[in-house]
Structure 1
Amino acid sequence: MKKLSIIALLMTVIGMLFWQPQLASADELTGHSHEKGLRYLISKNALVKDAKGSYRPNDNVTRGEFASYLAKSMNLEATSDIVFKDVPNTYVHAKDIKLAASAGIITGYGDGSFKPNAAISRQHMAIMLERAIDYLNIPKGTPTITFKDNASIIKDYRQAVAIGAQLGIIQGSEGKFMPTKNATIGQAATFVHRLMTLAGDSNTGNSNGGNTNGGDTNGGNTNGGNTNGGDTNGGNTNGGDTNTGSSQYAIKEISNGTLVGNQGFSTFEAAEKALTKNTQVIVQSDKIVKMSSGYVVTNKYVALKSETINDAIAVAGNTEMEYISSDATQVKVRLAGQVGYLKHADVTLIPFSMSKGRSYYSNENGEIKHTLYDYNTNKYSSSYVYGKAPSFMKPGEKYYSWNGIYFTNGNGSSKGEAYNYYQFLPARAQTQYTAEEIDAYIMNKLAEVESTGITLYKDATKKSKLIGLGKTLKDVEAKSQINAMLVLSIAQHESAYGMSDHAQNLNNLFGLYVYDTNPLNKKFDSIADNINELVDKFLQPNYITPGGSPGKNFANGAVVGSKALGFNVKYASDPFWGAKIAGHYYRAEKALGFKDANNPYTIGLTTTQGLNVRTGASTSNGPIFTYARSGMPVIITSSATNGWYEILSDKLYTGQAFVSKDYVQVIHTVK
C-alpha cells in the first residue's frame, strides 16, 4: 500500500509539472498552418461553423464556398440578372455566387450550371483568383514562374497559375503545383488572405503583403515565408559585431568596376554614418543596398505604388529605373517620373561605374532605335525602331532616357526633348488611310513576315486573322472615334500579326476574358466582334474617357504613351509597350507614304490639375468633363480664339470642345 501511495503521489506531481491549462481563446484553428487566413475569413463572416461546431479547415472547399469567400472578402455589392440553373435562391451561398458572377469572377458551365457543391481543383481556383486580381485592379504584368509539373496544368490555365504564383498568392510544394488536386478550406483561406493583402485590405493584418500562413499544401512553410523572396527586412540587423564575420552590413569601395574592402557594421544606420566617399557602397550579403548614384533594375515583376499618381503600376522584370535613395528595408525609385518604393529583394542596385551594359537609344539612318539589355544574361537582347530620330541625336552616339521623352548621351554633351508622334498621338485622331490602303498594307506585311521562314508565320498571307480588316477598322473609327491604325497596331503587336493561337482558334486578337470551362478561351463569332469588345469594354470606358469607369483608375491620357502617361501606365507591365505599338504605326506609315505624318495633328499637354473642357470658349459654358491630372495629351484643332483652343474631346462627344489656352502647352513631335 505504501508503494502504491508513493506511485500515486509521483504521478500527481508529474501531472502538475506537465499539465498547463488551455488558453480560453484556443480552438481547432490555433496553430493551424492556415490559421491567419482562416481567421480572416471568419472576420469577414465568410467562414462559419457547421452543425458540429467545426470550421472544417482540412475539408475540401467547394466551388460555392470559394465563390462566397471571394464575394464577402471583396465586399461585392453589385448584382445582375445572372442565374445558374442549379443555384436556387434558397441555396446557402446563392447571393454570394450571384455577386461573384456579376463581378465576372465566376461564369459557370456551358449548360447553365455552376455545380456549387463540387470540390474545386487548385488550377480551377487559380482562374477565379486571376479574375479577382483584375477586378481589384492589382497589376499582374507578364508572369514567368513555372512549376515542375507545369505540363500537367491544362495549357490555357497556365497563365492564371503563373500570375497567382508571381504575385505570391498561390504557391506549391517542392516546386510542384499539383493542379488537379482539390484545395482545402484552409488553403482557400490562405489564397484569399494573400489576395486581399495585395489589394490593401487593412483587416488582413499584414500591410506588407507577406505570406504569413504557410504553404499551399498542408504543412509546408508554416512559419510564414515572405512572398517577395527572402528576408527583405535585413534579418537580425542588431546582431553582429563590427569587423567580424557576424556583421550584417559592410562598406565596400568601387575600384576598377569591382568592390573591395569589407568594413563590417552591425546595423545599416551605423554603416550609413560611416560612408565618406561617393565611391563607397553599403552591402548586405554581397548585395548592394545603398549607393551614391546609379540605377535600379527589377529582378522580377513588381507592383510599384506610385506616390506621384497614388496608384499601383505594373512593372516587368528587367526594367531600369532611377535610383533616388534607400534604407535598410526599401529602395526609393523613379520610373518615368513615377516615384515609389520597392523592397531590396525585388531589385538590384547598380552603380554607374559598375554597369556592364544598359539599354540605350541611337540614331540609325535617321530613325530612332531602342536596344534593350538583358540583366539575366548580361547581354544586349533585342532592339526595335519606332520612329524618326530627333534632330539633336547624333549618329554613332548612345543616348539614355528614363521616360522615352528626355534623352542625353553618356557625357551630357548632346541632349534634348522628343515626343514620338505615334506614341503620343491621342486615340481620337483619324487616320487618312482608306480601308483599301489598310488592306493592301496588311497583305504586304504578312508577306514580309511569312518570308522570314519563322514557323509561326507559315502561310500568314492565307491564314492571318488580320486579312481584310480594313473596312472593320474604318467602321470602328467612324463609330467610336478611335484611330483605325492605332487599333491595327495594337492587334499586330498582341496577336503576332493575327497568327497567335488565340487569334487563329478563337477570333481573339487581344486575349480578352477568362471562363471557368474555357479559361482564356472565349471564342468570338468574328474578329469584328473581338475588336468592338476591345473598344467598347476596355479602351473607350477605361483608358480613353477621362476618369475611367467607376472604380477603375486607368485613364492616364488617351495615347499609347509610356509609364509616364497614356495607356501604358496601366495596360502593360512592359515599360516600352507604348513605344512598340508606336513602332507598328510608324512602319505602316513608312510603307504607305507617311500620309498621316505629312498632315499631322497639333498636340498639346495640359499643365494643371482639375482643368475643365467646356462646350464653348467661355467659363460660362458648362464642362463636358474635367482632367483630374495635369500632363494629359490633347489634339488642338484650331488656333487660339479669345484665349481658348478648340480640341477633340477625349470623352465620346460629337460637339465642339474648348479648353483655356493658358493651361495647354503645345509640344513638338518627331514624325
Structure 2
Amino acid sequence: MKKLSIIALLMTVIGMLLWQPQLAFADELTGHSHEKGLRYLISKNALVKDAKGSYRPDANVTRGEFASYLTKAMNLEATSDIVFKDVPDTYVHAKDIKLAASAGIITGYGDGSFKPNAAVSRQHMAVMLERAIDYLNIPKGTSTITFKDNAAIIKDYRQAVAIGAQLEIIKGANGYFMPEKNATIGQASSFIVRLMQLAGDPNDGNSNSGNTNGGNSNSGNTNGGNTSGGNTNGGNTNGGNSNGGDTNTGSSKYAIKEISNGTLVGNQGFSTFEAAEKAVTKNTQVVVQSDKIVKMSSGYVVTNNYVALKSETINDSLAVAGNTEMEYLSSDATQVKVRLAGQVGYLKHADVTLIPFSMSKGRSYYENVNGEIKHTLYDYNTNKYSSSYVFGKAPSFMKQNEKYYSWNGIYFSNGNGSSKGDAYNYYQFLPARAQTQYTAQELDAYIMNKLAEVESTGVSSYKDATKKSKLIGLGKTLKDVEAKSQINAMLILSLAQHESAYGMSNQAQDLNNLFGLYVTDTNPLNKKFDSIADNINELVEKFLQPNYITPGGSPGRNFANGAVVGSKALGFNVKYASDPYWGAKIAGHYYRAEKALGFKDAKNPYTIGITTTTGLNVRTGAATSFNPLFTYARSSMPVIITSSATNGWYEVLSDKLYTGTAFVSKDYVQVINTVK
C-alpha cells in the first residue's frame, strides 16, 4: 500500500510537470553580459539575425549598423537631402544612415563618403552618443572624468568620453577606456539602452509603471533626476499642478527673471513656455528653465560644443565649432533661431547658451593695432580672452583703441552704431585662381625664415623645425601645382602652415598629411600619403578642384560656396572647417608672408567683384548667345575681373578649370574695394 501511494504521488507530480506551460529555451543571448541591450535592440527591430541565424553579439559593430541602431532606438523621422557617395539607396541601412545624418548625430568624411562597413572605435562611438544626448535634450553638464589611458583618447573627443562616462552610458574596465579598440555589437547595444533609459524610453527594459531614470517617478512626480521628454530637470513636478503665475519655481517648469546689474533676480514660475513668454513685459526680462536662459529680447548665442547647423539660407548643414558666437533671432521651448554670418538656422537649447548683451562678461572683438586688424577671441568656458591673431591691414574706418564687432567678418560695427562699415580683406576674399607673383625660390626662402622664427620661440612642438618640417623645399611643388591646376601657390602654402602647425603636426610628420585630409570633427581617418607632393595633389584633385572651387561641385556635394577661403558667409570656410574664423586665419598666413616678402601681390592686385544675383551664367563669350561655361547658384560669389567692361560684359577668370576666356554680365557684378 505504501509503495502504491509513492508511485501515485510520483505520477501526480510528473503529470503536473507535463501540464506546466513550456519554458522558453535559452538562446545565444541568454546570460550574455550585454543581454539587456541586445534584447532591447531586438525589440526595436534594430538587431536581426544573420543568414546563419546568429545575432553576432561579439562581432565588431560597423558604422552603418550603429547608425541604424540609433535611428531605430530614437525613432528618428526627419530627413534631408544629405547624400554619401558610398551609401546607395540599395544599401541595407541607407535610410537609417540618412536619418541619423539629418539629425546631426553622424557625419561623413571629407571626400563625401561614410564608410558604412568600417568598424567603429569606442571613442568614435562616444562622439556619436554625445550628439544623441544633445538631440534628446538630456542634461549633461561638463565632466572632469578621466581614464588611465586618457592620453590615448583623441584630444577633441575627451569631452564626449567624459560626458558619456559621467552619465554612465559608456564604461571602461579597470580604469581604462581603450579608445581605439573597436566596439562590439553587444557593447553598442548596452551603450544605446543606457542612453534610452536616460531619455525615459518606456520600452528600455528598466521602466516600471512609467517611472523614468535618474530618480523614481511616482504618480507623475519626478524626483531630483535628469529626465527628458517633457519632464523637468532637477526639480519636482507634482501631479501636473503647476499653473501660470506660481511664484515658487519648485513646482514650475519655467520662470521669468529680470536682469539687474548683470545678474538675474526674481522667481515668477509658469508651467509652460508659452505662458512665461506671454507674461514678459520688459526688455530686461528673460525666460529661464532650470536657471538656463531660453528666451530673451536681445543678445547673442554661443555654442556649447561642436554642432551641425542646418542653414535655411543655403539649404545645407554647416559644421560649427564650440565657443562660436552667433546672432540671436528668437527661441521657443525646444529650439533657438540663430544667424551665423548670414546663415539662418535652428539649434537645440542643449547646444547653446543665450547671453543677453547686458550680462556679457566679454565678447570676441576686432581692433586697429598700428594699422593692422587684430582679432581677439573670448573663451566662454573660462570666461577669459584666450588668443588673438592679425590677418591684414585695418580698414580706414577703424579707429585705434576702439573695439569693433562683426557677425560675418565683412561688416563691422563698434557696438554703438557711430562707426561702422564693410571691409573685404584682400587675402580672405581673393579667388583661388589668382596666381602669386613669388617664385619657387622666394617661397622656399620664406618657409625657412618662418621655420627659424617659430623654432626660436622655444615651443617644444617646433623644436628642430628648420630640420624636420614637412614644408622644407616645397616651393617648386607649389608653383608646379599652380601652373597645372590654376590654384594660387601661396594660398596652398598658407593652408598648409595653418593646418599642419608649419609642417610639424603629428599628421604631417607621421602621415605626410599637411591639410588634415580625412580628419573630421567626429571621424579621423589616419591615411598615410607616400609623399607631401601626393598629399597636395590629393587636396587639389579630390577636394579643392571638384568640390570647393568648381561651381556646383561634384554630384551630391554642395561645397562650392565661393572660390575663396572666406568665412561662414561664403567661401571654403562655409563647409571646410567648423572654426568660423578659419578663413581669416588662413588669410593671416598669406598676409604675414606678403609682409615678409615685400607685398608683391598686394602692390599689383587683382580686381575682385561680387555677384549680385542667383543663377548667374558665366559664358564663353561676351553675349547671351554664347554657351554657359557654368552657373553660380548662389549670389555674392567672388570673381576676378581681368578687363574693364566691354559691351556690358566683364572678362573674368573662370572658377571652373578652363584655359579660355570667360565673361559675365556687368549688370550682376559689383566691384569691391578690398583692404590690402
Corresponding position: 1:264 with 2:274: no
Aligned to 2:290: 285
Deviation at 1:269, TM superposition (A): 1.0
CA distance in 1, matches of 2:454, 2:423: 30
CA distance in 1, matches of 2:539, 2:213: 40
Question: CA 1:574–1:128 in structure 2 vs 1: closer, same or farther (change >3 Å)?
Answer: closer
Question: CA 1:215–1:190 in structure 2 vs 1: closer, same or farther (change >3 Å)?
Answer: farther
Amino acid at match of 1:318: N
Deviation at 1:147, TM superposition (A): 6.7
Say which is worse superposed, 450-459 or 68-77, in terms of deviation.
68-77
Deviations 1:549-571 (A, max 9, x none): 11111111111111111111111
Corresponding position: 1:33 with 2:37: yes
Deviation at 1:500, TM superposition (A): 1.1
Match of 1:240 among 239, 242, 263: 242
1:223-622 alignment, distance < 5 Å:
235-236=231-232, 239-241=241-243, 242-244=246-248, 245-513=250-518, 520-622=525-627
Aligned to 1:172: 170
Question: CA 1:417–1:167 in structure 2 vs 1: closer, same or farther (change >3 Å)?
Answer: farther
1:200-215 alignment, distance < 5 Å:
none
CA distance in 2, matches of 1:180, 1:364: 46
8 Å contact kept, 2:308–2:319: yes
Question: CA 1:600–1:39 in structure 2 vs 1: closer, same or farther (change >3 Å)?
Answer: farther
Deviation at 1:233, TM superposition (A): 6.4
Question: CA 1:463–1:213 in structure 2 vs 1: closer, same or farther (change >3 Å)?
Answer: farther
8 Å contact kept, 1:69–1:192: no
CA distance in 2, matches of 1:164, 1:661: 54
8 Å contact kept, 1:361–1:399: yes
Aligned to 2:97: none
Deviation at 1:607, TM superposition (A): 1.3
8 Å contact kept, 2:639–2:652: yes
Question: CA 1:285–1:104 in structure 2 vs 1: closer, same or farther (change >3 Å)?
Answer: closer
Amino acid at match of 2:559: F
Question: CA 1:152–1:106 in structure 2 vs 1: closer, same or farther (change >3 Å)?
Answer: farther
> How many residues are paired up?
574
Equivalent residue of 1:384, what SS?
Answer: strand
Corresponding position: 1:640 with 2:645: yes
8 Å contact kept, 2:546–2:554: yes
Deviations 1:332-371 (A, max 9, x none): 1110001111111111111111111110000000000000
Match of 1:654 among 629, 636, 659: 659
Identity %: 72
Question: CA 1:231–1:403 in structure 2 vs 1: closer, same or farther (change >3 Å)?
Answer: farther
Say which is worse superposed, 500-509 or 634-643, in terms of deviation.
500-509
Aligned to 1:116: none
Match of 1:105 among 102, 105, 115: 115
8 Å contact kept, 2:213–2:227: no
Amino acid at match of 2:58: N
CA distance in 1, matches of 2:124, 2:451: 39
Aligned to 1:76: 87
Question: CA 1:60–1:637 in structure 2 vs 1: closer, same or farther (change >3 Å)?
Answer: same
Question: CA 1:445–1:312 in structure 2 vs 1: closer, same or farther (change >3 Å)?
Answer: same
8 Å contact kept, 2:37–2:192: no
Equivalent residue of 2:333, what SS?
Answer: coil
CA distance in 2, matches of 1:173, 1:292: 42
Deviations 1:498-541 (A, max 9, x none): 111221222221233479xx974332222111111111111111
Equivalent residue of 1:400, what SS?
Answer: coil
Equivalent residue of 2:319, what SS?
Answer: strand
8 Å contact kept, 1:646–1:658: yes
8 Å contact kept, 2:37–2:193: no
Question: CA 1:322–1:159 in structure 2 vs 1: closer, same or farther (change >3 Å)?
Answer: closer
Deviation at 1:438, TM superposition (A): 0.6
Question: CA 1:232–1:40 in structure 2 vs 1: closer, same or farther (change >3 Å)?
Answer: closer
Aligned to 2:99: none
CA distance in 1, matches of 2:627, 2:278: 58
CA distance in 2, matches of 1:528, 1:340: 39
CA distance in 2, matches of 1:150, 1:558: 45
Equivalent residue of 2:484, what SS?
Answer: helix
CA distance in 2, matches of 1:104, 1:410: 43
Deviation at 1:412, TM superposition (A): 1.2
Deviation at 1:465, TM superposition (A): 1.0
Deviation at 1:122, TM superposition (A): 4.2
**TM-score between both structures, scaled by the size of structure 1:** 0.76
Deviation at 1:34, TM superposition (A): 5.4
Gaps of at least 5 residues in structure 2 are 1-20, 72-83, 91-110, 133-141, 215-224
CA distance in 2, matches of 1:519, 1:295: 32
Question: CA 1:224–1:564 in structure 2 vs 1: closer, same or farther (change >3 Å)?
Answer: farther
CA distance in 2, matches of 1:105, 1:218: 34
Aligned to 2:17: none
Question: CA 1:258–1:192 in structure 2 vs 1: closer, same or farther (change >3 Å)?
Answer: closer
Deviation at 1:48, TM superposition (A): 3.5
Deviation at 1:47, TM superposition (A): 3.6
Deviation at 1:643, TM superposition (A): 1.0
Aligned to 2:95: none
Equivalent residue of 1:471, what SS?
Answer: helix
Question: CA 1:251–1:161 in structure 2 vs 1: closer, same or farther (change >3 Å)?
Answer: closer
Deviation at 1:51, TM superposition (A): 5.1
CA distance in 1, matches of 2:403, 2:258: 28
Equivalent residue of 1:33, what SS?
Answer: helix
Deviations 1:429-480 (A, max 9, x none): 1001111111111111111111111111111111111111110000000011
CA distance in 2, matches of 1:557, 1:164: 36
Amino acid at match of 1:105: K
8 Å contact kept, 1:545–1:650: yes
Aligned to 2:149: 151
Question: CA 1:389–1:655 in structure 2 vs 1: closer, same or farther (change >3 Å)?
Answer: same
Aligned to 1:197: none
8 Å contact kept, 1:172–1:216: no
Deviation at 1:70, TM superposition (A): 7.4
Question: CA 1:187–1:217 in structure 2 vs 1: closer, same or farther (change >3 Å)?
Answer: farther
Question: CA 1:521–1:265 in structure 2 vs 1: closer, same or farther (change >3 Å)?
Answer: closer
8 Å contact kept, 1:299–1:347: yes
Aligned to 2:185: 185
**TM-score between both structures, scaled by the size of structure 2:** 0.76
Deviation at 1:102, TM superposition (A): 12
Deviations 1:265-313 (A, max 9, x none): 1111111111111111111111111111111111111111111111111
8 Å contact kept, 2:149–2:177: no
8 Å contact kept, 2:200–2:229: no
Amino acid at match of 2:372: E
Amino acid at match of 1:325: S
CA distance in 2, matches of 1:171, 1:654: 57
Aligned to 1:7: none
Deviation at 1:78, TM superposition (A): 9.8
Question: CA 1:153–1:350 in structure 2 vs 1: closer, same or farther (change >3 Å)?
Answer: closer
